Structure 1
Amino acid sequence: MRTPFAQRLGIDHPLIQAPMSGSTTPELVAAVSNAGGLGSLGAGYLSPQAILEQAARTRALTAQPYAINLFVTADEFTADAGQVTRIRERLDALMVKEGLDVRTSLPERWAFPFSEQLAALREARPPVASFAFDLLTPKQLSALKRLDIYVIGTATTVAEAKAWADLGADAVSLQAAEAGGHRGTFMHAAEDALIGLFALLPLAARAVDIPLIAAGSIMDGRAMLAAEILGAAASQLGTAFLACPESSAAAAWKRDLQTVREDQVTTIRSFSGKAARGLRNRYVQAMPNRPEDLPPYPVLNALTSPLRRAAAAAGRGDLLSEWCGQAASLVRPMPAAELVAVLMREYSQARAGLDRMA
């Protein structure tokens, strides 16, 4: 069934593959788009040149609509030198203890400037652009609209959803408490914005009149339909696609997803300095997690990068940022196109079951 939202975007299914920065590839994005969903390229960590290269690769693999996602951040960052020194000592000691032959270093830059990434996105001109961590400025939004780019904001509360709607966004992705990865919260403390999907959806539907996208550990077609009944125009799935062969998630991470207990998923700051949802593993247990003890994002994210790369190479999932949603163990390792087909078959069967009960 092609919903009005899907028709507007030129896709077949009300299904979006979440833009998981560091784990999505052009191959994954294209596979989902070719299967009728909306593939999303997570570009928050990419240089402007890499954004253009990956966009070109995606377009070479699919003629269907796709999205590029960016993190709305400042162009420049300052870091507390003492805080950086202390966390580097802590990280280096952990790597020594765990037998990893790598140490932290001060990078040339903490992150790529958002304004330059946004300029690259405009040059790539994807049909859809999505954003997290903060609002765009009215000028930035207008520039995207002039290029006929469909803009999706990320919200974790009703107030944030209204802020995006008032700005003029075309749709809002509602990131519920169950969702994996970095929290998109920008108007509240992260802990105050952990609202369950089945509460957040109807509350936001009452408050805004633009399409809402449900995001929060949706792992099968039944959950997609449930979200639609509560007001969602589409569902955005991230963890469900992490174990696909087209995903660039580390092999150890893909393996660990299949055995995650729901009580092991927690809010973590110690990898990046920003609240994110993922698996409470050995690294998380060994590192401080209070904001006051950690450099903020993206400073800490840059400092932990060598450790995460070394852990992935060594097959040490217990030292990785294993982002995942609450129902991660429902993951089904299979090619992305096959997963889209399974999800939509489940969605159709669930809808048919409701129709029989009516």
Structure 2
Amino acid sequence: MDTSFASRLGIEHPLIQAPMSGSTPPALVAAVSNAGALGSLGAGYLEPAAILEQAAQIRALGDRPYAIGLFVLPDEFEADMAAVAKAREQLDALMAREGLDVRTSLPPRWAPRFSEQFAALCEARPAVAMFAFGVIAPAQLRELHRRGIYVIGTATTVAEACAWADAGADAVSMQGAEAGGHRGTFLHEAEDAMIGLFALLPLTVQAMAGYAREVPVIAAGGIMDGRGMLAAEALGAAASQLGTAFLGCPECSAAEAWKRDLPRAGEHQVTTIRGFSGRAARGLHNRFVEAMPQATGLPYPVLNALTAPLQRAAAEAGRGDLLSEWCGQAAGLVRPQPAAELVARLMHEYRLARRSLAH
């Protein structure tokens, strides 16, 4: 295994736990990092004070490198209030039909201010900063580098990878169509950027080879075991980023109903969903997806904020079928076990797969 990428970050294994916002509490991040991989705090939904608080908790649990992931968004959003009213009516009716004693409300803000989240990230000073939904400003990237923070940009096409490389990112994380959760697409329509990971990797590696500096390529999407990590490496990946594989860990804060549904998930049940957040995301086709229209006219993060009360109530009621059960294409391969054990198992599988191919 090429260990240059891992060595640069100060980790033992070229393995990244994806920054899944809402599901990566400090206990999970620290457990992964302490096991020699790169744990990642998904901070897309967190206010600045919470980012700093959770970063402090991660540091208290160990002194290993870790990452913080953010969504690149405007600080302010304008919403079509007529569409908001219609969506609230639909969501309230759904919750009433499903017996959930909660209704929508208008939040003070649709989402945290990215500029304030970014400032908190800089203050927390993780080893790595990861971004999705767009490219950060040149001044922001310079500030991260001034603080010694390694920058990874999420891309779903070669053009997006080049946009990050042109901006000065240290590495690009290529999100194949198999990946779970929100699509990181920002230069294309989401439907046009649903490219299989094993086609996307060699195309991106070829494009990155044209740069005067080295730009490592990280593989993300559908990788659930050491065999998948080896396959990604064979296609030029410097590391593998796994998200769904860690959802079954006891340290993960995903709802228990969601965790229970994953091992039973068929690959054909993973679909592209807009009805939860207004942005294309990959997860299980469940009761909510069937009941709510995919196009409410509301973008992210407006719809995401409106569905938040439903999600909390559904989690408390054990209703996985009403949750945004984000997951990758191979969710059925999830293996519930402590995060440190999973990291060790993944690396053991990787070594076994490599030895088997050598004979």
Provide the residue aligned with 1:328 in structure 2: 331
Provide the residue aligned with 1:280 in structure 2: 285
Give the SS at the match of 2:70: strand
User: 1:299 and 2:331 equivalent?
Assistant: no
Give deviations 1:229-282, integer Å, cap 9, x for gaps.
001000000000001000000000000001011111000000011000000000
Provide the residue aligned with 1:164 in structure 2: 164
User: 1:103 and 2:103 equivalent?
Assistant: yes
Q: Please tell me whether the aligned partners of residues 272 and 304 of structure 1 are also in contact (alpha carbons under 8 angstroms).
A: yes
Q: Output the CA distance in 2 between the equivalents of 1:217 and 1:196.
A: 10
Give the SS at the match of 1:75: coil
Q: Please tell me whether the aligned partners of residues 65 and 126 of structure 1 are also in contact (alpha carbons under 8 angstroms).
A: yes
1:247 to 234, 237, 252: 252
Q: Please tell me whether the aligned partners of residues 225 and 351 of structure 1 are also in contact (alpha carbons under 8 angstroms).
A: yes
Q: Please tell me whether the aligned partners of residues 270 and 294 of structure 1 are also in contact (alpha carbons under 8 angstroms).
A: no
Q: Percent of counterpart pairs with the same letter?
A: 74
Give the SS at the match of 1:266: strand
After superposition, where does 1:182-331 map in structure 2 within 5 Å?
182-209=182-209, 210-290=215-295, 293-331=296-334
Q: Please tell me whether the aligned partners of residues 278 and 323 of structure 1 are also in contact (alpha carbons under 8 angstroms).
A: yes
Q: Please tell me whether the aligned partners of residues 211 and 233 of structure 1 are also in contact (alpha carbons under 8 angstroms).
A: yes
Q: Output the CA distance in 2 between the equivalents of 1:229 and 1:73.
A: 34
Give the SS at the match of 1:258: helix
Q: Output the CA distance in 2 between the equivalents of 1:2 and 1:235.
A: 12
Give the SS at the match of 1:16: strand
Q: Please tell me whether the aligned partners of residues 294 and 300 of structure 1 are also in contact (alpha carbons under 8 angstroms).
A: no
Q: Please tell me whether the aligned partners of residues 288 and 294 of structure 1 are also in contact (alpha carbons under 8 angstroms).
A: no
Q: Output the CA distance in 2 between the equivalents of 1:344 and 1:213.
A: 16
Q: CA deviation at 1:2?
A: 6.2
Q: Output the CA distance in 1 between the equivalents of 2:2 and 2:245.
A: 22
Q: CA deviation at 1:217?
A: 1.1
2:332 maps to amino acid: S
Provide the residue aligned with 2:212 in structure 1: none
Unaligned runs of 5+ in 2: 210-214
Q: Please tell me whether the aligned partners of residues 175 and 221 of structure 2 are also in contact (alpha carbons under 8 angstroms).
A: yes
Q: Output the CA distance in 1 between the equivalents of 2:271 and 2:100.
A: 25
- Please report the TM-score for the alignment, with normalisation by the length of structure 2: 0.98
User: 1:42 and 2:42 equivalent?
Assistant: yes
After superposition, where does 1:329-348 map in structure 2 within 5 Å?
329-348=332-351
Q: Output the CA distance in 1 between the equivalents of 2:234 and 2:5.
A: 14
Provide the residue aligned with 2:65 in structure 1: 65
Count residues with an aligned counterpart: 354
Q: CA deviation at 1:294?
A: 2.9
After superposition, where does 1:66-105 map in structure 2 within 5 Å?
66-105=66-105
Q: Output the CA distance in 2 between the equivalents of 1:21 and 1:62.
A: 21
Q: Please tell me whether the aligned partners of residues 151 and 170 of structure 1 are also in contact (alpha carbons under 8 angstroms).
A: yes
Q: Output the CA distance in 1 between the equivalents of 2:224 and 2:252.
A: 16
Q: Please tell me whether the aligned partners of residues 2 and 238 of structure 2 are also in contact (alpha carbons under 8 angstroms).
A: no
Q: Output the CA distance in 1 between the equivalents of 2:324 and 2:243.
A: 15
Give the SS at the match of 1:226: helix
Give the SS at the match of 1:67: strand
Unaligned runs of 5+ in 1: none
Give deviations 1:276-335, integer Å, cap 9, x for gaps.
000000000111113xx3310000000000000000000000000000000000000000
Provide the residue aligned with 1:175 in structure 2: 175
Q: CA deviation at 1:352?
A: 1.1
- Please report the TM-score for the alignment, with normalisation by the length of structure 1: 0.98
2:11 maps to amino acid: I
Provide the residue aligned with 1:17 in structure 2: 17
Give the SS at the match of 1:154: strand
Q: CA deviation at 1:11?
A: 0.4
Query: 1:2–1:64: structure 2 CA closer, same or farther, 3 Å change rule?
Result: farther
Q: Output the CA distance in 1 between the equivalents of 2:108 and 2:33.
A: 36
Runs of 4+ in 1 over 6 A off after TM superposition: none
Q: Output the CA distance in 2 between the equivalents of 1:162 and 1:231.
A: 16
Give the SS at the match of 2:119: helix
Q: Output the CA distance in 2 between the equivalents of 1:79 and 1:294.
A: 10
1:165 maps to amino acid: A
Q: Output the CA distance in 2 between the equivalents of 1:2 and 1:205.
A: 15
Q: Output the CA distance in 1 between the equivalents of 2:133 and 2:54.
A: 22
